[in-house]
Amino acid sequence: MSTSPAAPIGRIIAVLGACGFASTFTMRLLDPIVPELALEFQRPLGDIAIFSTGFALSYALSQPILGPFGDAIGKTRMIRFSVFALAGLLLLTSFSSGYSLMFFLRAVSGAVGGGIIPLALAAIGDAVPLAERQIAIGRFLAMIILGQMMGATASGFVADHFGWRAVFVLAALMALAAGTLATLFLPSQKEASGTMPQFGPVMRGYRGIFANPRTVPLYLLVMVEGAVAYGFFPYIAGILGERAGTGPSEAGLVIGMAGVGGILYAIMVRRIVHTLGVRLMTRLGGILMGLSLLAFSLELPWWTALGLFFVHGFSFYLLHNNLQTYSTELSTTHRGAAVGLFAASFFVGNGLGPAMFGALYHFIGAASSLIAYGCALIIIGLAAPALLGISQRPR
CA distances, 284 to each of 180, 274, 315 (Å): 39, 15, 7
CA proximity to 383, closest of 224, 232, 266: 224
**Domains of the chain by residue range:** 9-388
Please count the CA atoms within 13 angstroms of the CA of 302 that sit on its side-chain side: 20
Q: What are the residues whose beta carbons fall under 8 Å from the beta carbon of 204, sequence distance 6 or more?
A: none
Range 384-387 contact pairs with CB under 8 angstroms and sequence separation of 24 or more? 384/221, 384/282, 384/283, 384/286, 384/319, 384/322, 384/323, 385/279, 385/282, 385/283, 387/217, 387/221
Euclidean distance between CA atoms 139 and 267, whole angstroms: 7
Query: Mean pLDDT, to the nearest integer, of 92-112?
Result: 93
CA proximity to 59, closest of 143, 16, 118, 99: 118
Please count the CA atoms within 13 angstroms of the CA of 260 that sit on its side-chain side: 13
With both helix axes pointing from N to C terminus, report the angle between 236-244 and 34-41 in degrees, rounded to the nearest 10.
90
Euclidean distance between CA atoms 393 and 278, whole angstroms: 6
Euclidean distance between CA atoms 323 and 344, whole angstroms: 14
For the chain, percent of residues with pLDDT exceeding 90: 42
Euclidean distance between CA atoms 106 and 374, whole angstroms: 28
Euclidean distance between CA atoms 225 and 353, whole angstroms: 9
CA proximity to 378, closest of 227, 225, 233, 216: 225
Query: Mean pLDDT, to the nearest integer, of 141-158?
Result: 85
Euclidean distance between CA atoms 135 and 141, whole angstroms: 10
Query: For 9-388, which CATH superfamily applies?
Result: MFS general substrate transporter like domains (1.20.1250.20)
pLDDT, one tens digit per residue, over 112-138 is: 887 788 788 877 877 777 767 767 777
Euclidean distance between CA atoms 358 and 347, whole angstroms: 17
Q: How many residues does the chain have?
A: 395
CA distances, 363 to each of 115, 237, 238, 241, 357 (Å): 37, 19, 16, 20, 10
User: Model-level pTM?
Assistant: 0.77
Question: Which DSSP symbol is given to 300?
Answer: -
CA distances, 125 to each of 12, 22, 45, 188, 328 (Å): 12, 21, 40, 16, 6
pLDDT, one tens digit per residue, over 263-320 is: 888 888 888 888 888 889 999 999 999 999 999 999 999 999 999 999 999 999 899 9
Q: What are phi and psi of 29, to 5 degrees?
A: -60, -35
pLDDT of residue 207: 81
Q: Which of 106-110, 262-266, 373-377 has the highest mean pLDDT?
A: 373-377
Question: Which DSSP symbol is given to 189?
Answer: P
Please count the CA atoms within 13 angstroms of the CA of 227 that sit on its side-chain side: 21
Residue 141 parent element (H or E): helix 130-162
CB count, 10 Å around CB of 191? 9
Mean pLDDT for the chain overall: 85
pLDDT of residue 3: 45
Is the pLDDT reported for residue 395 higher than 50? no
